[in-house]
Amino acid sequence: METANQIMSLGTFQVLKLPLGFIRVLEWLFAIFAFATCGGYSGQLRVSVDCINKSDSNLSIGINFAYPFRLNRVEFDVPMCEGRRQERLYLIGDFSSSAEFFVTIAVFSFLYSLLATVVYIFFQNKYRENNRGPLIDFIVTVVFSFMWLVSSSAWAKGLSDVKASTDPDEVVLLMSACKVQTNKCSSVYGPRWSGLNTSVVFGYLNFVLWAGNIWFVFKETGWHKGGAARYPSSSSEKQTTAFNQQVYNQGSFDQSGGAFTGTGDFAQSEYSQVGNYGGPISYTNQ
Ligand SMILES: *[C@@H]1O[C@H](CO)[C@@H](O)[C@H](O)[C@H]1NC(C)=O
Ligand SMILES: *[C@@H]1O[C@H](CO)[C@@H](O)[C@H](O)[C@H]1NC(C)=O
C-alpha cells in the first residue's frame, strides 16, 4: 500500500492529480443530480369520492405538491356528500427542513467541488503554498462527507414521511364524507417516486465519493509521512531531487520485501523516468 502511495505522490503531478481531480468532477456531477432530482420535484396524487347521491360526487380530485414539501400548506377541496357542500383540507406534515438541508448541502458541495477542480488545474502552486491548500481541502472534504451522510439520512427519513403523508389511501381518511360507510372513497393513483428515490441514492453516492476523497486529499497534506517529507513545489529543483531519491529507496525496499512485486516494477520504471528527467543525481548516501 505504501508503495502505491509513493507512486501516486511522485513529483510529476499528473499522476497525483488524477484520482483527486477525477473524483471532484464526479462530485459536482452527482451534486447536480442530487439537487435537481430533489429540488425540481413535483408530484400529484388523485382520489375519488363517490357519494351515495351521485350528483355530489367528485371522481377525480387531484392534489399537487412539490419541493420543499410543506405539505401542511397543500390545500384541496373535497365534496362532503351533503348537497353542494365542500370542505377544504390540507395534507399533513412539513418536511421542508430535511429537503432544504439536503438541497443546500448539494448546492454548496457542487460549488466547492467546482471551485476545487479549478484550483487544482489553474492554481496548482498557490494550492501547495505552505501546505495551506491541502489542509483546507482536507478539512472541507471531511466536513462535506459528514454533511452528505447526515443530510442524506435526514432526507431519506423525510422522504419516507412524505410518502406516508401523500399515500392516497391515507389522504381519503382525512375526508369527513369518507367516514360515512355509504360513500365510497378510493385512490385513483399515487405520486411517482422515482425522482426522489434517485435523489436519496445520489445523496449516499455523494457521501461515498466525498469520504473516499478524504484519502486522496489526506495524501496531499503529506501528513502520512510524519510531516518530514512534504511534497516539493515544482520550482525547487533540489528538493525534487531529494524527493525522487527517497521514492527510489522506498521502491527498491518494497521490491526486496516481495509483498508488492507488481508495484515494485512500476516504481522502478517510474524511477528511471524520473531519473532521466531529473538529470544528474548523486547516490552517495546509498
Ligand atoms: C373535482 O375536484 C377538482 C379539484 O381536484 C375540481 O377542479 C373539480 O372541479 C371537481 N369536480 C367537481 C364535479 O366538483
Ligand atoms: C341529491 O342531490 C340533489 C341536488 O343536490 C337533491 O335534489 C336530491 O334530493 C339529493 N338526493 C338524495 C337522495 O339525497
Cβ contact 49:58 at 8 Å: yes
State the number of CA atoms in the 13 A half-sphere of 3 facing the CB: 22
Beta strands in 36-84 (DSSP E): 42-50, 58-66, 75-79
Q: Which protein residue's CA is at the shortest distance from atom 10 of ligand 1?
A: 58
Q: Distance of CA 158 to CAs 36, 93, 172, Å?
A: 17, 10, 21
Amino acid at 7: I
Task: Tell me, using a 6 A CB cutoff, whether residue 61 lines ligand 1.
Answer: yes
pLDDT tops 80 at residue 226: no
- State residue 18's pLDDT score: 67
Could you tell which of 50, 51, 53, 84 is best to mutate to test the pocket of ligand 2, judged by most ligand atoms within 8 Å of the CB? 53
Report pLDDT digits (tens) over 69-128: 999 999 999 999 988 899 999 999 999 999 999 999 999 999 999 999 888 888 888 888
More confident residue, 263 or 89: 89
More confident residue, 276 or 164: 164
pLDDT tops 70 at residue 50: yes
Cα(52) to centroid of ligand 2, in Å?
A: 9
Cα(168) to centroid of ligand 1, in Å?
A: 16
- Residue 207 to residue 109: CA distance in whole angstroms: 11
Report the DSSP pairing between strands 58-66 and 75-79.
unpaired
Share of the chain above pLDDT 90, in %: 56
Could you tell which of 65, 74, 77, 88 is best to mutate to test the pocket of ligand 1, judged by most ligand atoms within 8 Å of the CB? 77
Report pLDDT digits (tens) over 229-262: 444 444 433 333 333 444 334 433 333 333 333 3
- Residue 186 to residue 144: CA distance in whole angstroms: 44
Pocket of ligand 2 (CB under 6 A): 53, 55, 83
SS3 255: helix
- Residue 151 to residue 283: CA distance in whole angstroms: 53
Amino acid at 276: N
Q: Residue 228: which pLDDT band, with cuts at 50, 70 and 90?
A: very low
What rounded mean pLDDT belongs to the chain? 78
Cα(47) to centroid of ligand 2, in Å?
A: 23
SS3 17: helix
Find out whether the peptide bond into 68 is cis, omega within 30 degrees of 0: yes
Please name which ligand lies nearest the alpha carbon of 49.
1
Cell reading at 215: 484519502
Cα(170) to centroid of ligand 2, in Å?
A: 28
Cβ contact 244:278 at 8 Å: yes
Q: Distance of CA 122 to CAs 4, 134, 231, Å?
A: 26, 15, 18
Report the DSSP pairing between strands 184-189 and 75-79.
unpaired
- State residue 237's pLDDT score: 38
Report pLDDT digits (tens) over 30-42: 999 999 999 999 9
Cell reading at 218: 489526506
Cell reading at 43: 408530484
- Residue 12 to residue 274: CA distance in whole angstroms: 8
Max mean pLDDT range (43-52, 226-235, 274-283): 43-52
